Every structure is written in C-alpha cells, then in structure tokens.
Amino acid sequence: GYAPVPIKDDFLSCVVRSVPPRLLFAKSSPAYGSVWSSSIRNIKFVSEKTVKPLYIITPNNASHIQAAVVCGRRYGMRLRVRSGGHDYEGLSYRSDKPEAFAVVDMSQMRQVRIDGKLATAWVDSGAQLGELYYAVAKATPGLGFPAGVCATIGVGGHFSGGGFGMLLRKFGTAADNVIDAKVVDANGRLLDRKSMGEDYFWAIRGGGGESFGIVVSWQVKLVPVPPTVTVFQIHKGVKDGAIDLITKWQQVAPALPDDLMVRIMAMGQDAMFEALYLGTCKDLVPLMNSRFPELGVNPSHCNEMSWIQSVPYIPLGKSGTVKDLLNRTSNIKAFGKYKSDYVRDPIPKAVWEKIFTWLVKPGAGVMIMDPYGGKISSVDEAATPFPHRKVLFNIQYVNYWFGEGAGALPTQWSRDMYAFMEPYVSKNPRQAYVNYRDLDLGVNQVVGDISTYESGRVWGEKYYKGNFEKLARTKARVDPNDYFRNEQSIPPLLK
Ligand code: FDA
C-alpha cells in the first residue's frame, strides 16, 4: 500500500503558506502529467522509467520562488529549475538517478519590459526566445538581440549556458549582453547584480543552469540591426564540390566581416550554406564574390527582409511567420542525442571526404557548423565562464529519431562519430558547449552529500576550460552545501 512520506508533506504544507495551491502540482494532481510534459522537447524522457519530480511549482512572482527554496532547504527537498525545457538530457525536469526533488517551472513568468531609450530590456527566465525577439522588434524596430535560432528555447537555461545564434559574429553570446539579473540564492534571498557581487554575476552568465540558484529575470543590452538583412540558403552536393567548399569555408567564414555569418548544415551527401548578412543583397553579392567566389552567390540567392522576419525564416523557411515566434507549443517532438566539438585548426580535405562517408552510414545524424571569429572570439576567455573564443567553428552533431525502438543506431552513430573526430578537434581539453548537454562526458559523484570537485572536472573542463575552477570556488561561496545540483552542476571547491 501507499505510505505517505511525512517529510515531503512538510515541504508541501510549508510551500502552501506562500504559494497559491493552483500553482502547485503533486503527482496525484490530475494536471500533473500535462504540466510535467508541457515543455519537454526530447521525448526520450517521456517514459515510465523516468525519475520524475514529486512536485511541480509554477511561480508567478519571485516570492513564490523564495518560498520554494526556503521550504526546500528546511525540509530536505531539492529543486530543479525549468524555463524552456530544452535541455538535451532533460536535467530540468528529471533525475538520472532515483531522487526526491521538486521542479520550479518558470513558464508563468515571461514578461519582457523594453526601455527603448536606453536600448535595454528586462526579460523573465520563463519567456521563450521568440517572445523576447518579438517584443524587441515591436517596441524598437531598429534593435534586436543576439541569441539562439529556435524560438521555443527558454531564456533561463539558454542565457545560463551562453547562448548563440546567427548574430554571434557581430554581437557574441546572449550572456555577453547581460548587464544585470535577479537571482534567488540558496538561502532564499532575492539578489541583483549589486547585492550578489561580481563573481556571482560572472558565474551565472555562462556557467550553466541550476548551480547558482534560480535566475528570475535578466537585464540585457539590445543591439542595433539595419532595416534590411539578407538571408541565403544554398545547397551543394558532394558531386557539386561540397567537400572543396567546406575545406575552404573553415578559413574563410571565421574571417569574414562580422556583419556576415555563413554556417553549414551537413546531412547525407548535402551541405547547406546558410547566411545572415546585416545589409542588402547589393552589398552581399560582391562581398561573397571577393571572399568566397567558389560558392557562386548571385542576386537570385538573396532573400531580403527585416531582421525580425529573418528569425523564423532561418529555421522554417518561407512558411515561417513572425507570429510563430509567440507559439509555445512545440510541434517537432523527437527522440534525440546531441554532442558538440570545437575546431581550432582546419580539418584536411581527405578527412572531410571520410566525414561524408560517415554521414551516410546507418543511423547517421546531421552536423551543424557555426563559424566563430568577430565579436564572439574577441572576448577574453576568462571574461565570462563561456571559454570557447579562440576557435574556428563549433560543430553540433544532431541525431534524432521517431519511435522508442529506433534509437539504437543513431545513439551508436553519435558515439562512433565522436570517437572518429577526436584527432581533428580541440584537445586538452576537448571542448564542448554546455548548452548542448551531453552526459557521456561525465557526471558528478556525490560523496557526503556534496558533489566532488574531481568528478566535476572530468566534464567541467570540457565545458569551461580554465574557468571551471573559478566556478567551483564561486559555488563554494554561494552554495557550500551543494543544495542546487544535478548530474552536471558545478561542485563546490571547499577548502
Ligand atoms: P531548460 O529549462 O531545460 O534548462 C536547461 C538547464 O538550465 C537546466 O539545467 C535547468 O535546470 C537550468 N535552468 C533553467 N532555467 C533556469 C533558471 N531560471 N535559473 C537557473 N537555472 C535554470 N543553443 C544555442 O546556443 N543556440 C541554438 O541555436 C540552439 N538551438 C536549439 C534548438 C533546439 C530545438 C533545442 C532543443 C536546443 C537548442 N539549443 C541551442 C540549446 C539550448 O540553448 C539549451 O538547451 C538551453 O539550456 C535551453 O534552455 P531552456 O530554458 O529551454 O532549458
């Protein structure tokens, strides 16, 4: 029979003193299942076997979050925080091992408040990127914001890990453009940049979600965008010289003027060269023809539009509309496995030939390659926890499939491909991007109820390089008991 666990009930009766019951969901609540799965993107984790939260709290103001932390500390209930639910390993709403925890789901907190005069905005963590882009363009058409490509990504997790998209070469990561934040710390205090102090503020801008408390909202610097931008998407098959083009692209793309981003999506025997240019077709065509004539860009490739129109256009093509940016229901629900690499030295042509044989093996995924250079590379490695600055480009290996039984081949391909790539990518450490979360890189070991620094270093130096130690020291100052933790949270470096 079912025996209630008193300690957990104490947590609930504590929270209910400060949070209206309609914002609380226990496993027995009729709406629990739909609230839990509402923003899950990787449906691999929508499973009977998944370790789910005992409670979900959907705060609509900061005091509710403070109550959840205070009650959680008092009654031994850990909290995981979810904003957009896009974590590739589902760490915002599930635990890898059996554990009693509650989820603070930020989806009710998603205001965007724009100050057009100062060119800044306050955005709540529960907003999705599309809501931020939409609000910015509506209030101030000459401004935009540099962050991820997919509109449904949550601000909370994305900014916590860095966050980048088609404006990365001009304006860096989303976190590079954060100027203030409101955070609930492990003692339930609501802090801003001034009261949290500079090391704490440094850590939340790229040091990964969960570790340092619950970020309620972020103040960002908006960036200027011209009235017309130009997009092209050009497909080249291996038969049309894709391999020569990619070999050259590795050195051309990171050195282009920072108004121009040309990335590649490689799939099967096809490479799509996708560009966003902050200017008109008339200027883009001669620029491409002087820097990368082999691609053969001509005016028929150009699609001119406003910056905000380019945001849905890039992932969805002509069918994407600006109103889609507000749509919070995710239509692409797939099972997925994702990995990432950084490339510091150009990969030889003969290796690209092999890579394209990998891309047609059973279970093959897609490779998305984002060139760096420009602003993202001009920031000092230690200026934020995101250390991936002096690199040519980022690779994301994306494997997705439909249907529970179909995962074996893609999962195997993803691991085999990662092993194959090792000699050609960054080393000591082999760098990886925390927002492309990958538990294969390692998970924390917990000893005496504290995640150990040594176990964290294994995956942590891949995500943060030399910044890992400072993150761990900061964690020791702000959360020495390791209250906020998950499988890849920053462990406290205690003396
Ligand atoms: P989610 O809510 O799952 O949180 C992710 C992590 O942050 C978890 O550990 C969570 O606990 C923590 N967290 C969440 N909210 C927090 C808060 N308020 N305070 C403290 N911690 C918090 N990335 C990129 O840089 N560029 C891109 O173009 C894309 N594109 C893309 C497309 C798609 C379809 C997916 C699924 C993912 C991406 N990503 C990406 C990766 C994305 O940036 C990454 O998954 C983010 O962490 C997602 O943030 P969410 O808030 O949605 O995730």
pLDDT tens, position by position, 340-357: 999 999 999 999 999 999
Centre of ligand 1 from the C-alpha of residue 94, in Å:
14
Average pLDDT in the 88-97 region? 97
Using a 6 Å cutoff on CB, does residue 90 contact ligand 1? no
Q: Quick one: 188 and 65 in the same domain?
A: no
Residue 5 clears pLDDT 50, i.e. is over it: no
Ligand 1 contact via 44 beta carbon (within 6 Å): no
In a domain, 219, yes or no: yes
Q: Point out the domain boundary residue: 206, 224, 242.
A: 224
Residue 182 is assigned to a structural domain of this protein: yes
Claim to verify: residue 274 and residue 354 sit in the same structural domain: yes
| Ligand 1 atom 32 nearest Cα | 150
Which of 42, 46, 89, 92 best tests ligand 1's pocket when mutated (most atoms within 8 Å of CB)? Answer: 92
Q: Give the per-residue SS3 of 401-435.
A: ECCHHHHHHHHHHHHHHHHHHHHHCCCCCCCCCCC
Does residue 71 belong to any structural domain of this protein? yes
- Domain assignment present for residue 268? The answer is yes
CATH number of residue 69's parent domain: 3.30.43.10
The answer on 201 and 64 residing in a single domain is no
Residue 315 lies in a domain: no
Q: How many domains does the chain have?
A: 3
> Does residue 439 contact residue 96 with C-beta atoms inside 8 Å?
yes
Residue owning the nearest CA to atom 31 of ligand 1: 150
Q: What is the rounded CA–CA span in Å between residue 333 and residue 442?
A: 26
| Co-location of 16 and 36 in the same domain | yes
Distance CA 455, CA 458 (A): 6
Query: Which of 47, 78, 108 is the last residue before a domain boundary?
Result: 108
Q: In this structure, which residue's CA is closest to atom 5 in ligand 1? A: 157
Domain that holds residue 239: 228-305+334-429
Measured in Å, residue 163 CA sits from the centre of ligand 1 at 8
Same-domain pairing of 220 and 130: yes
- Say yes or no: CB of residue 163 within 6 Å of ligand 1: yes
Give percent above pLDDT 70 in the chain: 98
In a domain, 453, yes or no: no
Q: Are residue 151 and residue 68 in the same domain, yes or no?
A: no
How many percent of the chain have pLDDT more than 90?
96
Is residue 149 in contact with ligand 1, taking CB distance under 6 Å?
A: yes
Give the type of residue at 177.
N
CATH of the domain at 364: 3.40.462.20
Closest ligand 1 atom to Cα of 149: 28
381, 409, 429 - which closes a domain? 429
330 — pLDDT class (breaks 50, 70, 90): low
* Residue 331 pLDDT greater than 70, yes or no: no
Q: Is 86 in the pocket of ligand 1 (CB under 6 A)?
A: yes
Q: Could you tell me if 371 and 399 lie in one domain?
A: yes
Q: Residue 4's pLDDT band (boundaries 50, 70, 90)? A: very low
Residue 75 in any domain: the answer is yes
Instruction: Report if residue 390 sits inside a domain.
Output: yes
